[in-house]
Each structure stands twice: as C-alpha cells, then as structure tokens.
C-alpha cells in the first residue's frame, strides 16, 4: 500500500486548514493510499524552509523513507518563495518521492519513478506566480500603511503586548527540558502534544537567550 504524507499550510493563526485536510484525505482514500501523517502548520509561506517546522518534518520523513508521495492542495502551500519551493521539490525528487498537486491533478514523478517534465515545468511557473502574488500583496499593504501614516493613524503593537523570551520559555518548560536532553523537534512536539512550529520557536528563543 502506498504511504503518503499530507502537507497543509495556512498563513495566519485564525485561518483554518480543515478543508485542505478533508479533501486530501478523501483523495487518499479514493486511491487506496495509507496516510502516514498529516503535517499542518500555520506560518507564512514566505519564511525560509529552515524556519518552518512542518517542512523540516516533511523532509525528514522523506529522508527516512516513511512515505513515497506527498499530497498538497496547491503549490503555494509548500511556500511562496520560488527558490525555497524548488529546493523542497528537488529534495523529494532525489529521494524518489512524488508530489501530488490537487488543484492541477498532477504529480511530479511518473508511475515508473521518472521525472514528469511537464509537471516540473508547471511547478516552477506556479511557484513563481505564488511569489509574485505575495509581492503584489505586500505592495498593497505598504501603500495602505503609508496612507494611514499620512492620515496620522497610529500603527503597531500596543505597549506590553510582546511576550518576553523568559516568559515564553516558562510557558513551554517541558519542551525546553526535552530539547536540552537532546530530543529532536519532532520528538519534543509529539511528547508535549504541540506543533513542530512551536517547538522550533522555543528552540530559537533558547538559542537567542544563550547567545546574548
């Protein structure tokens, strides 16, 4: 039975990835696939791969040969930086893992494991479109911020709204302890029942404090 990983992503905490999971799970069932893991994260697709716990977990599963396919609803779910998306694609392709993109009903590898040149080409184009879409959004936001500033509207966080690093680590003290014991991000997340993105954030906070 083909083992697959479902990867879903939304950019904001208040957004939901339920629809992505539901549709990709239904697709897996219709094809007779075994869903080994649903990897979900709430993080901007513009972040680098090294800062995304979900992507790191996905790549690690592929390297451990735990799955032979990765299912995503659309290319932009993997990211909105063309170079970062293609980096993930190349890693998966080298490991012989095909990426299925639902909204185009295409896979990056053929049934015999060879590269699908059309899918690879479309993947590059779609990743570039995602990047351009994000840049256009940023331009609109910046324009709106400039207009608000011109009108004298105060922007930014309210004083005291940022959580101090020490308080953040205290909130996840069990995660801190496991990381100090040498547990991996995936292991700590599973034991503490939190997302890998949370563990990654805690690890970065620990590093920031220790380097000061």
Q: Where are the domains of the chain?
A: 3-127, 165-211
Residue 206 has pLDDT above 60, yes or no: yes
**pLDDT of the residue at 151:** 75
**pLDDT of the residue at 204:** 83
**pLDDT of the residue at 128:** 75
What 3-state DSSP class applies to 93? helix
**pLDDT of the residue at 5:** 97
**pLDDT of the residue at 33:** 97
- 59-82 mean pLDDT: 91
Instruction: Answer with the residue of higher pLDDT: 140 or 211.
Output: 140
**pLDDT of the residue at 83:** 83
- 31-43 mean pLDDT: 95
**pLDDT of the residue at 161:** 52
> 62-66, 72-76, 144-148: which has the highest mean pLDDT?
62-66
How deeply is 12 buried, as exposed, middle or buried, from its count of CB atoms within 10 A (0-12, 13-18, 19+)?
exposed
Fold for the domain defined by 3-127: Rossmann fold (3.40.50)
Average pLDDT over the chain, rounded to whole?
Answer: 84
pLDDT band at 110 (very low <50, low <70, confident <90, very high): very high
Q: Report d(CA 100, CA 110) in Å as an integer.
A: 11
Residue 211 has pLDDT above 60, yes or no: no
**pLDDT of the residue at 203:** 86
**pLDDT of the residue at 121:** 81
**Catalytic hit among 11, 73, 83, 143:** 11
**pLDDT of the residue at 159:** 54
pLDDT band at 119 (very low <50, low <70, confident <90, very high): confident
Range with the poorest average pLDDT among 22-26, 57-61, 77-81, 118-122? 118-122
- Active-site annotation holds for 11: yes
**pLDDT of the residue at 134:** 61
Q: Report d(CA 48, CA 202) in Å as an integer.
A: 17
Residue 212 has pLDDT above 70, yes or no: no
């Amino acid at each position: 039975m083909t083992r697959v990983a479902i990867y879903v992503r939304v950019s904001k905490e208040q957004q939901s990835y339920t629809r992505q999971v539901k549709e990709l799970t239904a697709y897996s069932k219709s094809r007779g696939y075994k869903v080994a893991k649903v990897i979900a994260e709430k993080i901007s697709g513009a972040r680098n791969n090294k800062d995304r716990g979900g992507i790191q977990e996905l790549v690690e599963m592929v390297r451990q040969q735990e799955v032979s396919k990765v299912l995503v609803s659309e290319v932009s779910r993997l990211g909105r930086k063309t170079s970062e998306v293609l980096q993930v694609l190349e890693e998966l392709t080298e490991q012989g893992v095909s990426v299925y993109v639902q909204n185009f009903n295409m896979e990056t590898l053929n049934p015999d494991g060879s590269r699908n040149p059309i899918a690879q080409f479309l993947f590059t184009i779609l990743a570039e479109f995602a990047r351009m879409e994000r840049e256009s959004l940023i331009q609109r936001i910046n324009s709106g911020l400039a207009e608000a500033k011109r009108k004298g509207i105060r922007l930014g966080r309210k004083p005291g709204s940022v959580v101090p690093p020490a308080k953040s680590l205290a909130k996840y003290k069990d995660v801190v302890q496991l990381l100090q014991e040498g547990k991996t991000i995936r292991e700590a997340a599973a034991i503490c029942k939190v997302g890998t993105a949370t563990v990654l954030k805690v690890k970065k906070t620990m590093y920031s404090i220790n380097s000061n």
